[in-house]
């Protein structure tokens, strides 16, 4: 019978210096995408029992510094506490462990392996393993989940601690942690995994405790620990959106919202998608300006201890951005340093490239822009407004009604939002996010781009469709991280020119 690589809780932290390597599938690979980070601290469940039947086999490793997400490094989603996985669900386990039971423990493979498994009912798993171990008692304890393969595949020694993930609604969710089993890949023998959802409260409490050290800000226990499928980013929100529209937003409601500023003056909105990356509109960016990003607060001028202001290192606009048609109105902002996440600062989730949003879906746009078409250039408090996704043809028809000489100005790579009872975003909101809630997670579907008028109920707002640019976003972040690591990075500069036809927001 094999178990996790942790022999005794005391020996793990006291006498061994751990590192974490990520971003590669080959252990000895010298890829520029590989990142090795020292481990600062390890927290083991206080009731972990390595003797006999393993129980509470879970631990958290605190890295010495934050990791920048890229195309090769992304966090996995965590399930809610009450999350249930049905028997028979197809899942996957990965690791660099032994590929054959008879191999010596040191014979781990150099290439990351994967195995397809099916979730097994708790009672069935107990019956099988109790019989194999000739035990009169339950050997599968509370807080574990079992998986089995009909092809004789399973995790083995060296895979301990690795993830068991299942795909739900286009997101990969980690339901288990490789813990123990009898042999490796024996026919009819299930593997036993620590059930992540069972330890959700423990995870949140421990993360909160770790965050009170000198390197990290306090973390509110009410914030869900759920990174974006990541592929992506997180997108957790503490509050549900209200039924009203065009109103001030409470603190911590939209923790990914940022203000792109010049000389501490708000110019555009944006959204945090990774520790060093902000998504915004290309038309927001002027050449030869020094930008900063303000995040963590709903008030532009407050002295809140939650607010963070970070200089912008580089801005990358989409290469084919067209200021006349407003096509490809998207840009990435690289921050000078990484952001530490907190209850007030969280990244938003990005949708998959093939993610579908139906017409009629209710979403929300946020920003500090005008609340009236001819009002002040921006307001001091973050505003929110409900938007209903419009079908492409409907949006074009409504836009053409306002701008008759210009047929079909809503093009591929754009998405429309509209609310019959009130207006949408306005000048000063540009670059900000349009987010929709799916399965208790907030996903950014659009970036505030343009409109014929603003804050008028007859006219839809047009957003850059984030799905359309998913490959560009990850490719650019990946390329920038490579160039930046060599101390050399030349950004593309995009200029905002005056528009005589379209109103940029």
Residue 455 backbone zone (phi > 0: left; psi -120 to 50: alpha; other: beta): left
Q: Give the C-alpha separation, 466 to 451, whole Å.
A: 17
Contacts of 307 (CB under 8 A, 6+ apart): 294, 295, 296, 297
Residue 398 φ/ψ, nearest 5 degrees: -70, -40
Fold of 247-484: Thrombin, subunit H (2.40.10)
Farthest-apart Cα atoms in the chain, separation? 82
Among residues 283, 345, 280, 340, the alpha carbon closest in space to that of 312 is found at 280
Residue 335's Cα: distance from chain center in Å? 17
Q: Which residue has tokens 């601690």?
A: 161
For residue 428 the two structure tokens come to 């000063």
**CA angle, 443 then 280 then 485, to 5°:** 100
Q: Give the C-alpha separation, 375 to 428, whole Å.
A: 11
Q: What is the three-class DSSP state of 200? A: helix
Q: List for the chain the helix, strand, coil content (%; round to 5).
A: 15, 30, 55
What is the domain partition of the chain in residue ranges? 76-209, 247-484
Q: What is the three-class DSSP state of 472? A: helix
Does 76-209 match 247-484 in CATH topology?
yes
Asked if 316 and 284 touch (Cβ cutoff 8 Å), the reply is no
pTM: 0.51
Domain 76-209 CATH (choose: 2.40.10.10, 3.20.20.140, 3.40.640.10, 1.25.40.10): 2.40.10.10
Encode the chain (505 residues) as per-residue pLDDT tens digits.
Answer: 333 333 233 334 344 789 999 988 888 877 777 889 999 889 999 988 887 778 899 999 999 888 877 778 889 988 887 778 889 999 999 999 888 877 665 556 788 999 999 999 888 898 888 888 877 777 888 899 999 988 878 888 889 999 999 988 778 899 999 998 888 878 888 999 999 999 988 998 888 766 543 322 232 322 222 232 333 223 333 222 222 223 454 556 899 999 999 999 999 999 999 999 999 999 999 877 899 999 999 998 888 888 999 999 999 999 999 888 899 999 999 999 999 888 889 999 999 877 888 999 999 999 998 765 545 556 788 999 899 999 988 888 888 776 555 544 788 899 999 887 666 788 889 999 999 998 878 999 999 998 876 655 667 899 999 999 999 999 998 887 655 543 333 333 333 222 223 445 5
Residue 114 φ/ψ, nearest 5 degrees: -135, 150
Q: Give the C-alpha separation, 398 to 308, whole Å.
A: 40
* pLDDT for the residue numbered 376: 55
**From the CB of residue 188, how many other CB atoms can be counted at a distance below 10 Å?**
9
Residue 170's Cα: distance from chain center in Å? 13
User: Dihedral angle at the C-alpha atoms of 398, 400, 404, 407, nearest 10 degrees?
Assistant: -170
For residue 159 the two structure tokens come to 């895979």
Q: Give the C-alpha separation, 57 to 47, whole Å.
A: 9
């Amino acid at each position: 019978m094999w178990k996790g690589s942790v022999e005794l809780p005391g020996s793990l932290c006291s006498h061994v210096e751990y590192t974490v390597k990520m971003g590669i599938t080959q252990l000895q690979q010298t890829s520029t995408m590989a990142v090795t980070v020292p481990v600062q601290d390890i927290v083991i469940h206080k009731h972990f029992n390595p003797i006999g039947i393993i129980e509470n086999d879970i631990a958290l490793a605190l890295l010495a510094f934050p990791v920048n997400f890229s195309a090769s490094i992304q966090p996995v989603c965590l399930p809610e506490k009450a999350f249930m996985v049905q028997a028979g669900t197809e899942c996957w386990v990965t690791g660099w462990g032994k590929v054959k039971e008879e191999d010596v423990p040191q014979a781990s493979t150099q290439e990351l392996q994967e195995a397809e498994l099916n979730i097994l009912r708790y009672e069935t798993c107990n019956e099988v393993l109790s019989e194999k171990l000739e035990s009169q008692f339950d050997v599968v304890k509370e807080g574990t989940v079992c998986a089995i393969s009909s092809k004789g595949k399973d995790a083995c020694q060296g895979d301990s601690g690795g993830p068991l993930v299942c795909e739900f609604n286009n997101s990969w969710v980690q339901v288990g942690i490789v813990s123990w089993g009898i042999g490796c890949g024996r026919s009819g023998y299930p593997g036993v995994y620590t059930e992540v959802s069972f330890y959700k409260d423990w995870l949140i409490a421990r993360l909160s405790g770790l965050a009170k050290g000198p390197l990290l800000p306090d973390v509110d226990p009410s914030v869900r620990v759920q990174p974006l499928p990541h592929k992506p980013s997180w997108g957790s929100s503490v509050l549900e959106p209200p039924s009203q529209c065009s109103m001030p937003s409470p603190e911590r409601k939209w923790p990914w919202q940022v203000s792109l500023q010049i000389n501490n003056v708000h110019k555009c909105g944006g959204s945090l998608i990774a520790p060093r990356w902000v998504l915004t509109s290309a038309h927001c960016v002027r050449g030869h300006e020094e930008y900063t990003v303000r995040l963590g607060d709903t008030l532009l001028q407050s002295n809140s201890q939650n607010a963070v202001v970070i200089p912008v290192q580089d801005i990358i606009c989409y290469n084919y951005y067209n200021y006349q048609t407003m096509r490809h109105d998207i840009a990435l902002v690289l921050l000078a340093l990484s952001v530490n996440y907190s209850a007030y600062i969280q990244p938003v989730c990005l949708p998959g490239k093939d993610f579908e949003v139906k017409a009629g879906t209710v979403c929300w746009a946020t920003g500090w822009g005008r609340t009236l078409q001819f009002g002040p250039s921006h307001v001091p408090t973050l505003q929110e407004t409900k938007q209903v996704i419009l079908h492409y043809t409907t949006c074009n028809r409504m836009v053409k009604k306002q701008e008759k000489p210009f047929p079909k100005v809503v093009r591929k790579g754009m998405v429309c939002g509209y609310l019959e009872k009130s207006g949408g975003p306005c000048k000063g909101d540009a670059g900000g996010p349009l987010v929709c809630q799916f399965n208790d997670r907030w996903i950014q579907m659009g970036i505030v781009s343009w409109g014929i008028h603003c804050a008028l109920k007859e006219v839809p707002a047009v957003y850059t469709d984030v799905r359309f640019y998913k490959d560009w976003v990850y490719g650019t972040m990946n390329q920038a991280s490579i160039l930046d690591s060599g101390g050399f990075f030349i950004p593309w500069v995009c200029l905002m020119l005056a528009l005589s036809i379209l109103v940029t927001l």
